Amino acid sequence: MKHHPARLIAKKRDGGALSVDELQDLVAGVVDGTLGDAQLGAFLMSVCCNGMTPEETATLTLAMRDSGCVLNHDHIKKKKIDKHSTGGVGDKVSLLLAPLLAAAGVAVPMVSGRGLGHTGGTIDKLASIPGYSTDMSLERFGEVLDQCGYAMLSPSGEIAPADRRMYSTRDISGTVESIPLITSSILSKKLAEGIDGLVMDVKFGRASFMREEHDAVALMEGLVATGRAAGIQMSALLTDMDHPLGLAIGNALEVLEVLAALDGECPDDLRELTLALGVEMLLLADAAPDADTARATLTRLWDDGVVRQVFRDNLELQGGDVRVLDDPSLLGRAPHVVPVEAMRSGFVTDVDPLALGHVVVDLGGGRRQPNDQVDPHVGIVLRKVLGDEVHTGDVIAFVHASTDLAARDSAHAVMLAMPIGDERVRRRALVKQRLA
């Protein structure tokens, strides 16, 4: 590094703002290792405690983006627009949204993540489709994008490598919850995709990074401002993650829900959020004059089976077994499936997404350690949702597990996460705010 690392860290510690040159030097030190682990941890903590100015956040983001390859899809004439969610439970929207937008003539180059903590990841869900691969060269990624309108890639060392080291250090140093660090982490990877625009789905509620609405709003504003400063179009929705999205939680089970949704059987909340985000993407792409027209276009493409066909094309290009579309049983199934029954009559008064997310991780559907293998088949399928009326003995959910013992333990945990009471509770609005 050109600068003395300890002096830069002390400057941030004392509340100073780092210059473009200083931040670029720090990121170079992250990548070439001249910034040691202790120094990186101290730097991250100083940012966590003192924050960053909007200019610093933008500079850090661009330096992290430029730490690896920045893709260019200029050979594709369509607008390149992506969506990113800050993470939730049961959130399989990307699997539907990418083919939906591709069907509408937008190119979607999607670099997605693996599951993180109790939240699922698109890459893990896709990995449950036999043969499907998200590991490919950047050149192949561009080809798939060109041929079917969307492509799904797992992050590799080539894309924003600075974020890899920074993220894993944050994970073990109590520095995940920082708006400038979350913003630069997310946007450095997204900007490297070579996109013209990005729609952010910023979650708030119990199963999201930001439990409180005002924190989520601050994150949303930071993401939108930083993305715009980096030269792409941005819009964002603030959406509810106080309850799971859809009915399935767990990788293959969520793919099963997506396959049914492509055939027209989609839980209302999943369809509503997918269309709401899709409308924002079409508007960013200038592919519709207004929100109503965008929604009508997307609805028609979905209902007419065009989206299913694009999904099939992508499966074929990324090595997936296309037969799953007609025979979803090819996804496989956990050996033990047990029902969770209502212990009394009344109404479902809560469906705690955090508790259910933890149950799925405990079943083996998520990771405790970065190198853990994920069991694609385990998870939970809800039969009842918030506010539904139930009678004693009704099945409120199914647990899919690899052992009978795990199934029974988890069934008990699911029962506790779905209390039944006398009052009918209604879910709050799914989309709380829009920033465009």
- Which residues are designated catalytic? 84, 163, 170, 185, 189
Smallest separation (angstroms) from ligand URA to the CB of 285: 23
Q: From the list 62, 182, 198, 294, which residue makes contact with ligand URA (rule: CB under 6 A)? A: 182
- What token pair was written down for 314? 């992508």
User: Do residues 115 and 374 touch, judged by C-beta distance below 8 A?
Assistant: yes
Q: How far apart are CA 187 and CA 225, in angstroms?
A: 11
Closest CB to ligand URA among residues 114, 400: 114
Question: Is residue 384 within 8 Å of residue 390, measured between CB atoms?
Answer: yes
Residue closer to ligand URA by CB (options 119, 410) is 119
Shorter beta-carbon distance to ligand URA: residue 119 or 128: 119
> Near ligand URA by CB under 6 A, which window of 34-42, 88-96, 179-187, 292-300?
179-187
Chosen residue from 48, 186, 187, 245 binding ligand URA by CB under 6 A: 186
Q: For residues 240 and 243, what is the distance between their CA atoms, to the nearest angstrom? A: 7
The contact mask relative to ligand URA for 96-135 (x = CB under 6 A, - = no) is: -----------------x----------------------
Task: Read off the tokens for 85.
Answer: 């969610």
Q: How many residues touch ligand URA (CB under 6 A)?
A: 6
Q: Kindly state the helix (H) or strand (E) to which residue 61 belongs, with its residue range.
A: helix 54-65
Q: Which long-range contacts (CB under 8 A, 24 or more apart) does 257-263 make?
A: 257/92, 258/92, 258/95, 258/96, 259/324, 259/325, 259/328, 260/328, 261/96, 262/96, 262/99, 262/302, 262/307, 262/308, 262/311, 262/325, 263/308
Could you say which of 185, 226, 235, 239 contacts ligand URA (CB under 6 A)? Answer: 185
User: What number of CA atoms fall less than 13 Å from residue 382's CA on the CB side?
Assistant: 25
Nearer to ligand URA, 226 or 297 (CB): 226
153 is a site residue for ligand URA (CB under 6 A): no
Q: How far is CA 317 from CA 158, 202, 349, in A?
A: 22, 30, 44
71-100: which residues touch ligand URA (CB under 6 A)? 86
Q: Which stretch binds ligand URA (CB under 6 A): 9-17, 180-188, 275-283, 340-348?
A: 180-188
Q: Which residue is nearest to ligand URA (CB)?
A: 185
CB of 257 to ligand URA, least distance (A): 23
C-beta of 141 vs 167, nearer to ligand URA: 167
Contact 84, 198 (CB under 8 A): yes
196, 282 contact by CB (below 8 A): no
Give residue for tokens 């798939």: 144
Binding span for ligand URA by CB under 6 A among 15-23, 60-68, 182-190, 241-249: 182-190
The secondary structure of residue 361, as a DSSP letter, is I
Give, as ranges, the residues between 20 and 59 that touch ligand URA (CB under 6 A). Answer: none
Interface residues toward ligand URA, by CB under 6 A? 86, 113, 167, 182, 185-186
